[in-house]
Structure 1
Amino acid sequence: MALHFDRAEFDARRDRLLIEMSERKLDALLIFAQESMYWLTGYDTFGFCFFQCLVVKADGEMVLLTRSADLRQARHTSIIGDIVVWNDRQGANPAVELRELLNNLDLLGMRIGVEYDTHGLTARNGRLLDEQLRTFAKVEDASDLVARLRLLKSPAEVEKVKRAATLADDAFDAGLALVKQGADEAAILAALQSAVLAGGGDYAANEFVIGSGADALLCRYKAGRRKLTKNDQLTLEWAGVYHRYHAAMMQTVLTGKASKRHQELFEAARSALLACEKAMTPGNTFGDVFDAHARVMEIHGLTKHRLNACGYSLGARFAPSWMDPQMFYNGNPEPIAPNMTLFAHMIIMDSESGCAMCLGRTYLTTEAEPAPLSRHGLELIVK
């Protein structure tokens, strides 16, 4: 069995979940989010793109319904002892088999929570599920239950994130060494990814972002590569990943000579990030962190060039995104608490001047100000 945590860790997570289920008066929880399954049991796969469900009863009993391709995967990577396979065939409706499983577990007429808000449950499969549960049980949306438990990291999880942060720094060092006039984005991207994998890390839950020239104003990955010019801008967003735990970083690097506009944008980005650090303390909320960012951007006259969110929680995530649901945006009441791993990114895209400037790193929250997990400082990098 290939587990990345000891059994006591998983037992503690299960106990936290059962307490929450009891408070919500849930007789069972249907888990469809792969990160929830991984957190609770260690189960690690990419088969979540097909229908599968981990049933957790209020007494702690767990049963996984999955495909034959993931049977051995579940046995090898998780603590799940009871695994039921639904059969791939023309016209198959796995939701019917899930209902039969729930009936066998004596859950008819019970109160059941469902993780709807996940890419592990497509809209079509969700409709099939609802059709089967409509007259079977009392159903409620419990999408936030495990996600909020995952927000606070255990000491063992913090160690995973710190290892991921080291890999993120190593990746930046490897990629930065190649940045110069004439450098190929492909080589830089390969260096970033290679450093993470060579260091014992994993693939990230989404693609690394790389873009130079006009593409530096994009904060999403896109296909296609170019070579850097004499006076260029290169936006990078990447993550160190260890046992699925992410520590993200973001930086715009310049070649040649920094323009006055780039210098102005960097000062704003740095000031905003430092303001977010001061706000990222217990007693404040995720919304307060965003407001700190927004105030600095407004002072610098950059409101129309910033985004409407400036970061989010990080943890063990699966494709297609490494972002956890809790984000820094206006009015988010989620409280800051110790032992969160949070990524704050200052993204400034000035389409009028054609200049980009991004700066971001991952933090571990404490009883006071957060601890940056990167060994790199906050300097404007010109190569």
Structure 2
Amino acid sequence: MLFTDEEYRARLAAARKRMARQGLSALIVTDPANIYYLTGYNAWSFYTPQLVFVPADGPMVLFTRAMDAGGAFRTSWLPPESIVGYPEHYVHRPTVHPFDWVAAALRERGLVAAAAGGCVGLEMDAHFFSPKAYRSLVHSLPEWTFVDSFELVNWVRSVKSAAELELMRKAARVCGGAMETAVETIGVGVRQCDAAAAISHSQITGAEEADGDYPAIVPMLPTGEAADTPHLTWSDSRFEEGQAVVVELAGAHRRYHAPLARTVMLGKPSQRLSTLAGAVAEGIEAVLDSVRPGTPVRDLARAWNDSLARHGLEKPSRIGYSIGVGFPPDWGERTVSIRSEDETVLAENMTFHVIGGMWMDHYGYELSESIRVAPDGVEVLTGFPRELIQKGL
């Protein structure tokens, strides 16, 4: 196990405190990142239905596919009697769902009646909680009143422990090595797919005393005119002279993520790109200078917007989000977003990906850092030259 029993108990206690505040008699957790956070269970099994049942009192129960349940104890702190596998014949069947069986198992354990006095929280926006899964629970457990848990466990995750921060610092080391590989590999005549392969190799190999994990998102490489659009991956096209390549990737270590974005220019940059790079760097500095415990998130967004406005620029989308544990398809925690309307107040040991992505007309630029809210300011977890990286001059 990565963490002590005491830390896992503290996580469960924090989740139950929020459950009580939200009037929940039980919570059903289906997000693999939240399952990992509460139980330590870590496997590529989230493509089939699985859940953790968290009662207001008493032991949690992990339900997963039978072939996965047999080995779940190898990463989880839960005792064997709290890890239950549903039968294989429930997998990928059109007329039945694994949660039909799970509901019956909860009833046999006497857990349904115990939770019927209040509302039961569901992770209604979790990536791997399907409409069919929801329908199965509603039909099988008519005694329960289901409500949205509103990312309850995600919010508990937003403030990191000392042990978590050490894992994130190791993830940042993996990230730095992957970005070095990206800069070394990207060049005129190189296929985009070959650059992506080299980056992926570095991400998984990791760094000394910081092995790499699979990242929640693949390397993203918007290139040339296509850099005006975020989240593009790669093709078999070859990089050309005069193209700017936006590189966004993450280092992952024990499922903790540290993302980073930089822009690589193959040749001499245009004046408009150089001007944009300078404006973004200035804006990111303004944001980082604003970070400290007790500061409203909206103040970070204001610092960014004010800095951009001095250059006649604006960015309508958010400029950052909370990070930590990540499973595909996302490394964000889906809680705090750095934007003007977010009312969250920064707390020590929150961690964020601050990203200055500017997608213009037929060109773009990205610069980002992974950060921690330190007692007296900001700790930048990632370390890489904060500039437009030029090659081939």
Asked if the contact 2:27–2:54 (Cα under 8 Å) also holds between the matched residues in 1, the reply is yes
| 1:287 aligned onto 2:298 | yes
Residue 331 (str. 1) matches residue 335 (str. 2): no
Match of 1:310 among 319, 332, 337: 319
Counterpart residue number, 1:187: 194
Q: How far apart, CA to CA, are the structure 1 residues paired with 2:134 and 2:168?
A: 33
1:158 aligned counterpart, secondary structure: helix
Q: How far is the alpha carbon of 1:41 from its aligned partner?
A: 0.9
Q: Tell me, in whole angstroms, the C-alpha distance in 1 between the residues paired with 2:110 and 2:259.
A: 41
- Select the residue among 127, 140, 147 that pairs with 1:119: 127
Measured after TM superposition, the shift of residue 317 of structure 1 is: 1.1
C-alpha distance 98-143 of structure 1, shift in aligned 2 (>3 A): farther
- What is the TM-score of this pair, normalised by structure 2? 0.90
Shift of 1:119: 0.9
Equivalent residues in 2 for 1:96-135, closer than 5 Å: 96-103=100-107, 104-108=109-113, 109-111=116-118, 112-133=120-141, 135=142
TM normalised by structure 1 equals: 0.93
Whether the aligned pair in 2 keeps the contact of 1:212 and 1:226 (CA below 8 Å) is no
For residue 98 of structure 1, what is the amino acid of its counterpart? Answer: V
- Aligned-pair distance for 1:14? 1.8
| 1:171 aligned residue | 178
On the 8 A contact 1:216/1:235 being kept in 2, the answer is: yes
Pick the aligned partner of 2:153 from 137, 146, 156: 146
Question: What residue ranges of structure 2 are gaps of 5+ in the alignment?
Answer: none
1:324-363 to 2 correspondences below 5 Å: 324-325=333-334, 326-351=336-361, 354-363=362-371
> 1:136 is matched with which residue?
143
Name the amino acid aligned to 2:85.
V
Give the alignment partner of residue 73 of structure 2, picking from 64, 72, 75.
75
Deviates more, 1:35-44 or 1:65-74: 65-74
Deviation at 1:329, TM superposition (A): 2.4
Aligned Cα RMSD in Å?
Answer: 1.8
Q: Secondary structure at the match of 1:246?
A: strand
Quote the Cα distance in structure 2 between the aligned partners of 1:8 and 1:130: 34
| Higher mean C-alpha displacement, 150-159 vs 267-276 | 267-276
Residue 226 of structure 1 aligns with which residue? 237
More deviation in 103-112 or 56-65?
103-112
Q: Decide whether the 8 Å contact of 2:192 with 2:236 is kept in 1.
A: yes
Residues 289, 328 of structure 1: 8 Å contact kept: yes
Identical amino acids, percent of aligned pairs: 27
Aligned to 1:373: 381
SS in 1 for 2:69: helix
Provide closer, same or farther for how the CA distance between residues 52 and 110 of structure 1 changes in structure 2, counting only shifts above 3 A.
Answer: farther
Q: Is the 8 A contact 1:207 1:221 kept in 2?
A: no
Distance in 1 between residues matched to 2:282 and 2:194, nearest whole Å: 32
Q: SS at the partner of 1:322?
A: strand
Question: Are residues 187 and 307 of structure 1, via their aligned partners in 2, closer, same or farther at CA, if it must alter by over 3 Å?
Answer: farther
Equivalent AA in structure 2 for residue 178 of structure 1: T
Match of 1:155 among 148, 162, 167: 162
Say whether residues 1:18 and 2:10 are aligned partners. Answer: no
Alpha-carbon separation, structure 2, partners of 1:143 and 1:86: 27
Conservation of the 8 A alpha-carbon contact between 1:307 and 1:348? no
Distance 2:303 2:58 in 1: 42
SS of residue paired to 2:230: coil
SS of residue paired to 1:382: strand
CA displacement 1:350-378 (0-9 Å, x = unmatched) = 11xx2211100100111232111122231
In structure 1, which of residues 28, 34, 48 is the aligned counterpart of residue 26 of structure 2? Answer: 28
Q: Work out which of the residue numbers 87, 95, 102 in structure 1 matches 2:99.
A: 95
Give the match for residue 309 of structure 2: 298
Aligned to 2:204: 197
Alignment partners' CA distance in 2, 1:372 and 1:120: 32
Counterpart CA distance in 2 for 1:222 and 1:334 is 32
Deviation at residue 255 of structure 1 after TM alignment: 1.3
Distance 1:223 1:358, change over 3 A: closer
Match of 2:330 among 318, 321, 332: 321
What do the CA deviations read for 1:114-163 (whole angstroms, capped 9, x no partner)? 22220121122122222333x31233221321111100000000000000
* Deviation at residue 315 of structure 1 after TM alignment: 0.7
Aligned counterparts of 2:110 and 2:289: Cα–Cα separation in 1: 49
Which residue matches 2:281? 270
**Alpha-carbon distance, 1:307 to partner:** 4.4
1:84: which partner in 2? Answer: 84
2:348, 2:196 → 1: CA distance? 34
